[in-house]
């Protein structure tokens, strides 16, 4: 940090050559313009640094503040173990929950040359107060002062929570630190990006997993008329830089503040949901999504519990079949075919796909040494497929099953000698 300060002191008095800081408009002079200045419209302060000044809006909220159907202080009931799983970073659990900083940016665009003209930070002071600090660039030349404050605030003992920060916010800020010649790397901090686990959990049943959609469908939160669509924000800041009228920046501040507060309660909701994958109060589609994620992480007990719960409550035959199919695949993967057998039998009863008939036949042929049962289940599959309408799928399924039946009958006629099951095919 000392080398950072020395570098910033050398920067004092130097004119920047960056394109995004060129042609900064002069300060307003008329009385009407003064009334529209950000400092007159908000309760903020100007912070002075060796790199210049930056304007910061500060607000303190009680921990009991409700954001959706949860309180901000509910963050402290979240299990760090599950937050670390969501972050896919075990180091996240090594830090106290009160060390988390919730970060969100508002930018001049979505490309690599964009400027973060507003950076909002949310953090707890104790467990009773939640502070929102929003840095606002009154002109682009104030960026170095903002970056210096961020580097001093985001210390190594902190953890970061964002929404799409991995794909956007942190990449953008890392780029801006590099352009400013500041040796600071956000990726050194344990980071929980809430967007990936939210997508894994809810994309099956929600039209969108944007933060606004999650507020509406998951958190039970509706924003006020003060909000502004995110896509409008770059143009609103461009107009502010031109006119120096900060009126619309109040809406951007509200938007950024709501994003930060919603990240707190969304993190709580996600940790609770992932911690109880078999909860019968969860929609079946959510339980199935959780089971898939646990399967991908080789967290077998959790996956099995979620599959069993989802299959038991599936409202349609297709959804039940999907649950049973993936549940049985997991058991088969760990060579628990005897436990998978009743699942395949349930799937066969649903008459949706010939797969379970083949799996049962394989089980009896290669693992139970019961060729007669293998033949009978294969013949049952053929009888069902023959009832299908003519078409390519019917022809292909019949070819597969008929080939198996002919081979089983040859084995039965020859005395049923034991053969080695094909690799991966049984």
Closest of 158, 162, 181, 71 to residue 120, by C-alpha: 162
Based on the domain organization, do 48 and 194 belong to the same domain? yes
Tokens representing residue 289 in the block? 């999504």
SS3 293: helix
Mean pLDDT to the nearest integer, 133-153: 97
Please report the pLDDT score of residue 417 as a whole number.
Answer: 56
Residue 372 has pLDDT above 70, yes or no: yes
Query: What pLDDT digit, counting tens, does each position of 83-114 carry?
Result: 999 999 999 999 999 999 999 999 999 876 79
Closest of 241, 233, 260 to residue 102, by C-alpha: 260
Based on the domain organization, do 269 and 304 belong to the same domain? no
Q: How far apart are CA 66 and CA 265, in angstroms?
A: 9
Could you say which DSSP state residue 354 is in? S
Residue 53 has pLDDT above 70, yes or no: yes
Tokens representing residue 91 in the block? 């180091």
Domain at 381, CATH number:
1.25.40.10
Query: What pLDDT digit, counting tens, does each position of 383-393 carry?
Result: 999 999 999 99
Q: Cα–Cα distances in Å, from 7 out to 12, 55, 144, 206, 400?
A: 9, 22, 11, 48, 72
Sorted by sequence, the CB contacts under 8 Å of residue 373 that are 6+ apart come out as 364
Are 89 and 190 in contact, with CB atoms under 8 Å apart? yes
Could you say which DSSP state residue 129 is in? E
Tokens representing residue 402 in the block? 């008929």
Query: What pLDDT digit, counting tens, does each position of 378-416 carry?
Result: 999 999 999 999 999 999 999 999 999 999 999 999 986
Residue 17 has pLDDT above 60, yes or no: no
Q: How far apart are CA 403 and CA 393, in angstroms?
A: 16
SS3 46: strand
Residue 425 has pLDDT above 80, yes or no: no
Are 292 and 266 in contact, with CB atoms under 8 Å apart? no
The total number of structural domains in the chain stands at 2
State the residue range of the domain holding 246: 2-275
Chain center to CA of 88: 11
Based on the domain organization, do 171 and 301 belong to the same domain? no
Based on the domain organization, do 215 and 320 belong to the same domain? no
**Alpha helix stretches (DSSP H) within 363-391:** 371-385
Please report the pLDDT score of residue 111 as a whole number.
Answer: 79
Residue 421 lies in a domain: no
Based on the domain organization, do 203 and 292 belong to the same domain? no
Query: What pLDDT digit, counting tens, does each position of 339-359 carry?
Result: 999 999 999 999 999 999 999
Could you say which DSSP state residue 16 is in? P
Confidence band of 426 (pLDDT split at 50, 70, 90) = low
Tokens representing residue 185 in the block? 């790397």
Residue 426 lies in a domain: no
Based on the domain organization, do 90 and 109 belong to the same domain? yes
Based on the domain organization, do 139 and 186 belong to the same domain? yes
Closest of 211, 259, 272 to residue 86, by C-alpha: 272
Residue 224 lies in a domain: yes
Of 254, 275, 296, the one marking the end of a domain is 275
Of 240, 275, 310, the one marking the end of a domain is 275
Residue 418 lies in a domain: no
Residue 422 lies in a domain: no
Q: Provide the Cα torsion 170, 171, 177, 178; round to 10°.
A: 160
Of 257, 275, 293, the one marking the end of a domain is 275
Q: Cα–Cα distances in Å, from 230 out to 41, 51, 244, 352?
A: 21, 30, 20, 44
Based on the domain organization, do 368 and 404 belong to the same domain? yes
- The single residue listed with the structure tokens 């605030």 is 153
Q: How far apart are CA 1 and CA 222, in angstroms?
A: 42
Domain at 194, CATH number:
3.30.420.10
Residue 217 lies in a domain: yes
Based on the domain organization, do 244 and 307 belong to the same domain? no
Q: How far apart are CA 327 and CA 344, in angstroms?
A: 10
Based on the domain organization, do 257 and 321 belong to the same domain? no
Residue 357 lies in a domain: yes
Q: How far apart are CA 293 and CA 201, in angstroms?
A: 8
Residue 20 lies in a domain: yes
Sorted by sequence, the CB contacts under 8 Å of residue 411 that are 6+ apart come out as 371, 417, 419
Based on the domain organization, do 103 and 251 belong to the same domain? yes
Residue 31 has pLDDT above 50, yes or no: no
Query: What pLDDT digit, counting tens, does each position of 238-278 carry?
Result: 999 999 999 999 999 999 999 999 999 999 999 999 999 99
Mean pLDDT to the nearest integer, 116-144: 97
Query: What pLDDT digit, counting tens, does each position of 287-342 carry?
Result: 999 999 999 999 999 999 999 999 999 999 999 999 999 999 999 999 999 999 99
Based on the domain organization, do 109 and 247 belong to the same domain? yes
């Amino acid at each position: 940090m000392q080398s950072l300060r020395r570098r910033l002191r050398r920067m004092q008095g130097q004119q920047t050559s960056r394109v995004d800081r060129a042609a900064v408009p002069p300060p307003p002079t008329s009385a009407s313009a003064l009334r529209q200045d950000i400092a007159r419209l908000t309760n903020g302060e100007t912070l002075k640094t060796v790199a210049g000044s930056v304007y910061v809006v500060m607000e303190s909220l009680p921990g009991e503040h409700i954001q959706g159907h949860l309180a901000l202080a509910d963050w402290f009931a979240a299990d760090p173990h599950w937050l670390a799983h969501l972050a896919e970073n075990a180091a996240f659990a090594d830090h106290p929950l009160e060390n988390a900083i919730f970060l969100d940016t508002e930018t001049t665009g979505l490309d690599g040359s964009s400027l973060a003209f507003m950076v909002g930070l949310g953090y707890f002071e104790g467990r009773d107060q939640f502070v929102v600090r929003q840095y606002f660039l009154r002109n682009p030349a104030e960026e170095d002062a903002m970056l210096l404050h961020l580097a001093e605030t985001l210390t190594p003992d902190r953890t970061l929570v964002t929404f799409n920060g991995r794909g956007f916010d942190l990449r953008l800020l890392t780029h801006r630190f590099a352009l400013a010649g500041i040796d600071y790397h956000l990726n050194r901090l344990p980071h929980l990006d809430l967007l990936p686990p939210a997508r894994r959990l809810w994309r099956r049943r929600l039209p969108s997993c944007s933060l606004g959609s999650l507020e509406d469908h998951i958190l039970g939160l509706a924003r006020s008329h003060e909000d502004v669509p995110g896509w409008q924000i770059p143009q609103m800041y461009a107009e502010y830089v031109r006119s120096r009228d900060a009126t619309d920046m109040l809406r951007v501040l509200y938007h950024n503040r709501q994003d930060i507060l919603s990240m707190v309660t969304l993190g709580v909701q996600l940790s609770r949901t992932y911690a109880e994958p078999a909860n019968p109060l969860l929609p079946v589609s959510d339980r199935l999504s959780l089971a898939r994620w646990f399967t991908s992480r080789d967290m077998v007990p959790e996956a099995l519990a979620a599959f069993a719960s989802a299959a038991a409550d599936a409202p349609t035959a297709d959804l039940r079949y999907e649950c049973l199919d993936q549940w049985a695949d997991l058991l088969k993967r760990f060579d628990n075919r005897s436990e998978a057998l009743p699942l395949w039998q349930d799937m066969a009863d649903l008459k949706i796909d010939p797969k379970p008939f083949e799996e049962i036949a394989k089980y009896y042929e290669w693992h139970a040494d019961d060729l007669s049962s293998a033949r009978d289940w294969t013949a049952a599959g053929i009888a069902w497929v023959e009832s299908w309408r003519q078409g390519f799928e019917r022809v292909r399924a019949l070819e597969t099953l008929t080939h198996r039946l002919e081979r089983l009958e040859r084995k039965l006629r020859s005395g049923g000698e034991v053969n080695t099951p094909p690799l991966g095919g049984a």
